[in-house]
């Protein structure tokens, strides 16, 4: 019985070691009519990022930046700030309220 438990633990460790960390994806709809998909880097990634994919192949890659609350991703022109199922997308000073679908 002890051997079976050890083999079970070893098997579980082997499976866990082979499982890649997966990024999370969410779809958003915004107050201004925009819709997009956000792909978030895995939690164990050295530098977090969010890739926002809009229609017609348009894509923005935003690095994760400091946030006192929620997840915040920003570059010089764009900020995507999420908290729970709500988010704010700001592009060139124009803010939209967004929600996860």
Q: State the DSSP string of 31-88.
A: TTS-EEEEEEPPTT-SS-EEEEE-GGG-EEEEEEE--SSSEEEE-SSEEEEEETTEEE
Classify residue 3: in a domain, yes or no. Answer: no
| 70-96 residue pLDDT tens | 899 999 899 999 999 999 999 999 999
- CATH number for position 81: 2.40.128.200
CA dihedral 47, 53, 54, 55 (to 10 degrees): 160
Residue 82 lies in a domain: yes
Write out the residue range of the structural domain in which residue 93 sits: 21-100
Domain membership flag for residue 69: yes
| pLDDT at residue number 23 | 56
pLDDT in tens, 6-46: 434 333 333 333 334 555 899 999 999 999 999 999 876 77
Decide if 11 is inside a domain: no
pTM score, two decimals? 0.73
Residue 75 lies in a domain: yes
Q: Is residue 6 part of a domain?
A: no
């Amino acid at each position: 019985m002890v051997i079976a438990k050890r083999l079970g633990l070893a098997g579980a460790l082997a499976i866990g070691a082979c499982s890649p960390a997966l990024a999370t994806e969410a779809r958003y709809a915004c107050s201004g009519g925009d819709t997009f998909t956000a792909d978030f880097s895995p939690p164990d990634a050295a530098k977090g990022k969010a890739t926002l994919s809009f229609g017609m192949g348009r894509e923005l890659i935003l690095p994760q930046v400091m946030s006192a609350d929620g997840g915040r991703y920003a570059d010089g022109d764009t900020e995507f700030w999420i908290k729970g199922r709500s988010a704010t997308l700001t592009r060139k000073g124009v803010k939209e309220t967004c929600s996860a679908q």
